[in-house]
Chains A and B, each alone.
Chain A
Amino acid sequence: MIVLFDGFAFGMLLFVLSVGLSVTLGLMNFVNLAHGAFGMLGGYVALVTTRELGLPFLLGLPAAFVAAAVVGIACERTFFRRLYRAGELNQVLFTIGLVFVASAVAAYVFGTGQQPIQLPDYLRGSVEVAGVRLGAYRLFLVIVALVVTALLVVGLEHTSFGARVRAAVDNQRMAQGLGIDVDTVFAITFALGCGLAGLGGALAIEIVGLDPTFGFHVLVYVLIVVAVGGLGSIGGSFAAAALLGIGDVAGKYFVPEIGSFLIYLLMIGILFFRPLGLFGRR
């Protein structure tokens, strides 16, 4: 039971980290391997706001979101928009280059060591729910993830902005003809994806730690979630993240000998039978 919950909480962390990529990669078809770097940025921003500026942790999270989103827009305006048509390989390489640079900058500014984050008291310890003691922070993770999911589903599927995004992605010229400002829509969508990465990065410090290799470290998990879930499907990412999180934690708990590669086996198996992912539509 506790394994199930811990796995689910880990899965929810993966979900928050990866859903932004699902937005940029799935909706905009931009292979953004720098996603983890935006997560790292969010992590460091949360660290600075809470430790250096002394702001509460709950303010650090939105700060991480905003900072990553702003940097995301800046990158999109200057570089990424030139690469939309450049083919996946060039996108992969450019963004990997970005991760290299970001990681070196982080090492320069913050040093190569692990950076711990100070959690407020109410997020430490554990809470008893229905007779089971659950880690307070993990419960918090689950709640944040559920809120994010609800906001995203409503925002992308039930608002006019969401409709504009999907129109701009499906047929740029047609969307332009209808008077949609495709440039702005893309910029905002990209910012949303990067901001979510930043939020995920800030949340991840407590569980996986934060150091300059964060961008690479997290990338693999994030890509697995997106690929298994199916591109552009928020529900798919949610299901995949939960499944992989539980699988990973349970594997490490019950069969430690093969626990570390169970997650890859799962992914390969799923992609072999469903190359588009569990909920892939295209």
Chain B
Amino acid sequence: MAETVIPDDGPQRWLRRQSRWTAWEAAFWVAAFIPFFFFPTYLTLASQIAITALFAVSVDLILGYAGVITLGHAMFFGLGAYCAGLLTKAGWGEPLSGLLLSGTFAALIGFIVSFLIVRVHHLALIMITLGLGLLTLELANAMSWLTGGTDGLQGVDVWPVFGAFEFDLWGYTAYSYALAVLFLGVVVSRRIVHSSFGLSLRGIRENLGRMPAIGSPYRLRLQTIYTISAGIAGIAGALLTQTTETVSLDTLSFQRSADVVVMLILGGTGRLYGGIVGAIIFLVARDQLADMNPQYWYFWIGLLLMAVVLLMPKGILGGLASVAGRLRR
């Protein structure tokens, strides 16, 4: 977590200084264009990474900033994915509005669920999010007339982006599109976390009991961020549908919820780029390991996880930050 220094020139300017773009961030976004030129065969993987990174950012908003541990966020990812898929089946294949509609739908469900979430803590919270996720998965499986069940949703037809850019076989459009949406998602998210609202979320994470005492309506805050996070997760799911032109039950699975939390911790929670870095490392590692040996890649992922928890409890970015801090002194 960024060290919180007492501002000497007023809170507004302190907040503004915190939210300034750093050179590292700029370098990161420039680096995001590398796959176009150097790894064109990996563009499909790159767009998967961008989508998963957006999903990870949405989870970071509630887990890393507000401290709500969730094991069921794939629920919103999958809802967004199915919503986008069903829209195209209903004859509306325009991608941008589809994205927005899916995000809104997921946010709406998130708003309803948030009333449950703010009531419980600790283990019960983990279990309720887990249970809701599994419940959605079973529902989607049972309603196979709508969702296609285990076969997945077939015949998704997405129109070209802006009516001009067709989704091609190589993933040029898919990656550009996913990257652009990820960028927008990060811009919105960093605006949120660097506002006074974002600070109140950190307050909720650090000390729940104190927030009502200083007059902060913590339930409302939690509900707001949970809704926003659900919406972003839904958009990520819709992106997956539109770039792959198919939806499967797998988008709702526990595995997906667990993976995204794993990525987040790998990269470092409570910093927006933690989820993105985690997604890159996790998915590239999985891709390479699965190439080497399709059966046992999760052995190495498991080892990696254990090592990160023991050696770098704040994740890779957190570890790097503390190393950098030590060098600077």
> How many angstroms from the CA of A220 to the CA of B116 in the assembled complex?
20
Quick check: A99 and B302 within 8 Å, CB to CB?
Answer: yes
> How many angstroms from the CA of A31 to the CA of B69 in the assembled complex?
13
For B306, the closest partner residue in chain A by CB is: A97
Quick check: A272 and B120 within 8 Å, CB to CB?
Answer: yes
Is A264 on the interface with B (CB-CB < 8 A)? yes
* Known pairs A88-B122, A93-B309; A268 contacts B299 (CB<8 A): no
Shortest distance in angstroms between B72's beta carbon and chain A's nearest beta carbon? 10
Is B169 on the interface with A (CB-CB < 8 A)? no
Quick check: A260 and B138 within 8 Å, CB to CB?
Answer: yes
On chain B, the residues within 8 Å of A227 by CB distance are 123-124, 126-127
Shortest distance in angstroms between A152's beta carbon and chain B's nearest beta carbon? 20
Interface string of B123-135 (1 = CB under 8 A from A): 1101110111011
Is A105 on the interface with B (CB-CB < 8 A)? yes
Quick check: A108 and B296 within 8 Å, CB to CB?
Answer: yes
Quick check: B142 and A82 within 8 Å, CB to CB?
Answer: no
Quick check: B254 and A101 within 8 Å, CB to CB?
Answer: no
> How many angstroms from the CA of A59 to the CA of B271 in the assembled complex?
52
Quick check: B124 and A100 within 8 Å, CB to CB?
Answer: no
On chain A, the residues within 8 Å of B134 by CB distance are 220, 261, 264
Tell me the chain B residues, 271-306 only, with Cβ under 8 Å from chain A.
295-296, 298-299, 301-306
Is B265 on the interface with A (CB-CB < 8 A)? yes
Tell me the chain B residues, 235-264 only, with Cβ under 8 Å from chain A.
254, 258, 261-262
Is B217 on the interface with A (CB-CB < 8 A)? no
On chain A, the residues within 8 Å of B296 by CB distance are 104, 107-108
On chain A, the residues within 8 Å of B121 by CB distance are 275
Is B214 on the interface with A (CB-CB < 8 A)? no
Quick check: A258 and B142 within 8 Å, CB to CB?
Answer: yes
**Overall SS of chain B's interface:** helix
Quick check: A224 and B116 within 8 Å, CB to CB?
Answer: no
Quick check: A107 and B130 within 8 Å, CB to CB?
Answer: no
Quick check: B309 and A83 within 8 Å, CB to CB?
Answer: yes
Is B310 on the interface with A (CB-CB < 8 A)? yes
On chain A, the residues within 8 Å of B258 by CB distance are 96
* Known pairs A93-B261, A220-B134, A268-B132; A261 contacts B303 (CB<8 A): no
Is B313 on the interface with A (CB-CB < 8 A)? yes
> How many angstroms from the CA of A114 to the CA of B258 in the assembled complex?
24
Quick check: A271 and B128 within 8 Å, CB to CB?
Answer: yes
On chain B, the residues within 8 Å of A276 by CB distance are 124
Shortest distance in angstroms between B126's beta carbon and chain A's nearest beta carbon? 8
Is A79 on the interface with B (CB-CB < 8 A)? yes
Is A231 on the interface with B (CB-CB < 8 A)? yes
Is A267 on the interface with B (CB-CB < 8 A)? yes
Tell me the chain A residues, 73-94 only, with Cβ under 8 Å from chain B.
79, 82-83, 86, 88-90, 92-94
Shortest distance in angstroms between A155's beta carbon and chain B's nearest beta carbon? 24
Shortest distance in angstroms between B178's beta carbon and chain A's nearest beta carbon? 27
CB-contact partner of B116 in A88, A107, A272, under 8 A? A272
Is A98 on the interface with B (CB-CB < 8 A)? yes
For B123, the closest partner residue in chain A by CB is: A227
Quick check: A257 and B142 within 8 Å, CB to CB?
Answer: yes
Quick check: B131 and A224 within 8 Å, CB to CB?
Answer: yes
Tell me the chain B residues, 126-156 only, with Cβ under 8 Å from chain A.
126-128, 130-132, 134-135, 138-139, 141-142
On chain A, the residues within 8 Å of B303 by CB distance are 97, 101
Is B326 on the interface with A (CB-CB < 8 A)? no
For A26, the closest partner residue in chain B by CB is: B123
Interface size bracket, A side: 35 or more
CB-contact partner of B131 in A99, A102, A264, under 8 A? A264
Is B119 on the interface with A (CB-CB < 8 A)? yes
For B297, the closest partner residue in chain A by CB is: A104
* Known pairs A88-B69, A94-B305; A112 contacts B295 (CB<8 A): yes
On chain B, the residues within 8 Å of A267 by CB distance are 127-128, 131
CB-contact partner of B313 in A90, A100, A103, A260, under 8 A? A90
* Known pairs A264-B134, A275-B121; A223 contacts B299 (CB<8 A): no
CB-contact partner of B119 in A88, A90, A275, under 8 A? A275
Is A277 on the interface with B (CB-CB < 8 A)? yes
Is A265 on the interface with B (CB-CB < 8 A)? yes
Among B131, B254, B313, the one with the most A-chain Cβ atoms within 10 Å of its Cβ is B131
Quick check: A275 and B302 within 8 Å, CB to CB?
Answer: no
Quick check: B135 and A268 within 8 Å, CB to CB?
Answer: yes
> How many angstroms from the CA of A86 to the CA of B265 in the assembled complex?
13
For A227, the closest partner residue in chain B by CB is: B127
Quick check: B306 and A98 within 8 Å, CB to CB?
Answer: yes
Tell me the chain A residues, 86-135 only, with Cβ under 8 Å from chain B.
86, 88-90, 92-94, 96-105, 107-108, 112
Quick check: B123 and A261 within 8 Å, CB to CB?
Answer: no
Quick check: A271 and B138 within 8 Å, CB to CB?
Answer: no
Quick check: B127 and A224 within 8 Å, CB to CB?
Answer: yes
CB-contact partner of B254 in A25, A92, A220, under 8 A? A220
On chain A, the residues within 8 Å of B261 by CB distance are 92-93
A-B contact pairs, 10 of them (CB 8 A): A88-B126, A92-B126, A96-B302, A98-B302, A100-B302, A104-B298, A107-B295, A261-B134, A261-B135, A275-B120
Show the binding face of B for A, using Cβ within 8 Å.
Answer: 63, 69, 116, 119-124, 126-128, 130-132, 134-135, 138-139, 141-142, 254, 258, 261-262, 265, 269, 295-296, 298-299, 301-306, 308-310, 313
Given A100-B305, A104-B298, A267-B128, 12 additional A-B pairs, CB 8 A: A83-B309, A89-B69, A90-B313, A94-B305, A96-B262, A101-B303, A108-B299, A223-B127, A264-B138, A271-B120, A275-B119, A275-B121
Nearest 3 A-B pairs (CB), nearest first? Answer: A100-B302, A97-B305, A104-B299
